[in-house]
Structure 1
Amino acid sequence: MTSVSPTREGYPADLRALTSLRAFLALGVVLFHYQLQWDPALGFSPIIERSRLAVDAFFMLSGFILAHVYGPSFAAGTFSYRRFIFARLARLYPLHLTVLLGVLVMVLGALAFGVRYDPSTFTVRGFFETLFLVQAWFPSAVGQNWSGPAWSLSAEWFAYLLFPAFAFLAVKFGRRPWALVIVSLIAYVLIDAVYRSLFGKVLPRAEDDMGILRIVPAFLLGMALHGLGRGLTWSRAAAVCLALGSTILLLTAMQMSLDDRIIVALAAPVVFSWSMLGKSQCEGVLASPPLVFAGEVSFALYLVHMPVIVAWKGVIAEMRGIDSAFRVTPLELVGLFVATCALAIALHLVVEKPGRLWIRERSARWT
């Protein structure tokens, strides 16, 4: 989430508010899955239910940050696709492989001890599709549970492979970023229409089932938002007011359970206005070390929270002799959250950061 060197495009090198934003987005996804597990009698939060759409904001953030980091070199003709791909592999694979292998151990353990599970979502084909991050590239009638949230990594990988095409458009519209915003929105409307005609559901519902279509307009919009901010200068008061206003508007729309596509559209001003906090040098508490660290750990939290839920419910169901679809108590959820956060921090420090550094050091010798 942090650029490797200062840019010459008006933004600070380190957009800390956007790193912190990742923490809130990941927390929203976790709470969404937790809400599916608790007793409906405990209540229902529309904001939490709509937090599943944080994935679309992640896609916008990816486009924005990659434009921030690699846009100048692409425009100058010094961009190296090979180095870019190795850097993206370093970003995704150490943690992805660790979580996937952890789930494989869980499944093999269930087979060895006769623990019941749904084999239709743990197929050999699904394992290898998840391993190579292509599970969201094809139509699928059955979701994959090997590493559920990793479908979005599959979509990200797709966007990374096509990054030169996205970057070409961003450079082409460099002096007309508003035009690229419009192109992105038109692309979203058209892809949504095609997706609805093919699969009978709106684009923000795309996951394992051709989820790559979901990232294309969002990723492009993120790059367009970066270009839009290059030519703007806001006062601190304006940046704070617009960031606060856009965030409140988004949360209100979520609470009102508005159409998924409206909420996705309202996420764009949040990403944009939070980036302008950095440009206006008024990130405040969003730049605090604890929040920034939480944002850095968010990838691990996002990936590992579902396997932890599955493991817990599987073990408890087997011990009690009940179906694993049982409802989890609030106390259990609190314990799961604490344990998941601890595991995410450990994976970030022990696997993600060292793994990323190891791959980058090796790839530097080959590029």
Structure 2
Amino acid sequence: MISSSKATSTTAIAPGKSHFEILDGLRGIAALMVVIFHVFEAYSDADPTRQIINHGYLAVDFFFLLSGFVIAYAYDDRWSRMGQWEFYKRRLIRLQPMVVLGSVFGGALFYLQAGGLFPRIAETPVWRMLLVMLLGCTLLPLPKALDIRGWDEIHPLNGPAWSLFYEYVANIAYALVLRRLSRRGLALLLVLAAGLLLDVALRGERRDLIGGWALDAAGVHIGLARLCYPFLAGMLLMRSGKRLRVRHAFALSGVLLILALALPRMGDTPHDWRNGLYDAACVLLLFPLIVAIGAGQKLAAGKSLRVARFFGDLSFPLYITHYPLIYLYTAWVVDQKVPPHIGAPVGVLLVIVAVLIAYASLKLYDEPVRRGLAARFLRRSADAPSR
């Protein structure tokens, strides 16, 4: 039976293998930065130059990089004794319970967000909201005809679920094709993926890597650009064995990640090419460096280990449940024209509440459900974890 840190880690369910605790902790730091980024976004008035914690959106690209690394680490050497369906079951058990909870939580808070910012909410009958919620539990991308919010999201009750859809796309691609490729083959695809990412970052309308949540040509283009390079880079980094062994690896990699996600918008205008260059440099160069540092030491020490494990366990529940609170907060700030000196304390409270909800979701729902599903649907084998 899968339990303890082997089940709660944000990595794949990886039978018989220890985890890179520092990488788990970095994922948790990135998730927290996403929440803070979204809180400040309520005051940006859709102007990226006014956004504080400006590059928090790049956390998604960092997640994809970590995913490529840990999935390759967890499963590359297991295909001789594991079929594709076993792999899919493990990934579904790891991710789907919280996907369902995120959609249900989004539905529960939906009508509380009604107002000038989201005029479609008041016009949406309950049956339509429930239909969107049920479809959201499957993680299938929803067409714009079912956009009951007005932000062109493929999951309008829980926007960040778009990146989980692309995570599943990457998982399927790994099981069907990518696991079979040599390092040279992966490197070739990586070069092509880098070109796609640079095209979006430097030639796209916004000169950044924001986007991917819309089910249209532009949205899919951005989503695939943000997925392909980091996921492939993570796989190649793991297979190459390139790790950097440094002292205080968790502290160093954590500080680098926070700085990368918090720096102001680059350039003088919302469409300045220098910001696109910064985004691309983070994904192409800096994030692989951070992962190489974090992977150079599997276990942190002392308090760092406890912090890394806590944030690692919390990362996925926090990421997938916080955004319904952000919808509520943003609608309040925008509709009521709330000044920052009043909104800031509420924003701090929101972050605290989001963490508490994530922790409760982890302990009371996610862990027990995954343990039950694993016991029922995953075959026991000699390399299964004992705890």
TM class by shorter chain equals: 0.7 to 0.9
Aligned equivalent of 2:68: 63
CA contact (8 A) 2:141 2:165 kept: yes
1:91-130 CA distance string (max 9 Å, x none): 111111112112223336778xx99843289776855653
Between the aligned residues of both structures, percent identity stands at 24
The gaps in structure 2 that reach 5 residues or longer are 1-9, 214-218, 267-274, 382-387
Counterpart residue type for residue 189 of structure 1: G
1:255-313 CA distance string (max 9 Å, x none): 363432122122111112211122xx6x3368522331221111111112211122355
Counterpart residue type for residue 316 of structure 2: F
Q: Evaluate the alpha carbon distance shift between residue 53 and residue 245 of structure 1 in structure 2; reply closer, same or farther with a 3 A threshold.
A: closer
What displacement does 1:203 show? 7.5
Higher RCO, 1 vs 2 (CA within 8 Å, ≥6 residues apart): 2
Match of 2:371 among 342, 357, 360: 357
1:63-112 CA distance string (max 9 Å, x none): 111111101113xx22321111111111111111112112223336778x
Structure 2: distance between partners of 1:192 and 1:275: 26
CA RMSD of aligned residues (A): 3.9
The gaps in structure 1 that reach 5 residues or longer are 8-12
CA contact (8 A) 1:16 1:287 kept: no
Bigger CA drift: 340-349 or 181-190? 181-190
Aligned equivalent of 1:167: 179
Match of 1:262 among 268, 273, 281: 281
Q: Does 1:302 align with 2:319?
A: yes
Bigger CA drift: 283-292 or 121-130? 121-130
CA contact (8 A) 1:22 1:58 kept: yes
Structure 2: distance between partners of 1:272 and 1:187: 20
Q: Evaluate the alpha carbon distance shift between residue 284 and residue 351 of structure 1 in structure 2; reply closer, same or farther with a 3 A threshold.
A: same
Q: Evaluate the alpha carbon distance shift between residue 117 and residue 228 of structure 1 in structure 2; reply closer, same or farther with a 3 A threshold.
A: same
Residue 78 of structure 1 aligns to a residue in which SS? coil
Q: Does 1:292 align with 2:309?
A: yes
Q: Evaluate the alpha carbon distance shift between residue 104 and residue 188 of structure 1 in structure 2; reply closer, same or farther with a 3 A threshold.
A: same
Q: Evaluate the alpha carbon distance shift between residue 245 and residue 331 of structure 1 in structure 2; reply closer, same or farther with a 3 A threshold.
A: closer
1:33-70 CA distance string (max 9 Å, x none): 11112489xxx887721121010010010111111110
Higher helix share: 1
Aligned equivalent of 1:135: 141
Structure 2: distance between partners of 1:253 and 1:366: 41
> 1:295-334 alignment to 2 at 5 Å?
295-312=312-329, 323=335, 326=338, 329-334=343-348
TM-score (normalised: structure 2) = 0.73
Q: Evaluate the alpha carbon distance shift between residue 84 and residue 233 of structure 1 in structure 2; reply closer, same or farther with a 3 A threshold.
A: closer
Q: Does 1:119 align with 2:139?
A: no
> 1:1-367 alignment to 2 at 5 Å?
1=10, 4-6=14-16, 13-38=18-43, 48-74=53-79, 77-107=80-110, 117-119=118-120, 127=133, 130-135=136-141, 142-143=152-153, 144-164=155-175, 165-169=177-181, 172-173=182-183, 180-181=186-187, 183-190=189-196, 192-193=198-199, 200=205, 204-208=209-213, 209-210=219-220, 211-229=223-241, 236=245, 238=246, 244=252, 248=256, 251=259, 255=263, 257=266, 258-259=275-276, 260-265=279-284, 266-278=286-298, 283-284=300-301, 287-312=304-329, 323=335, 326=338, 329-364=343-378
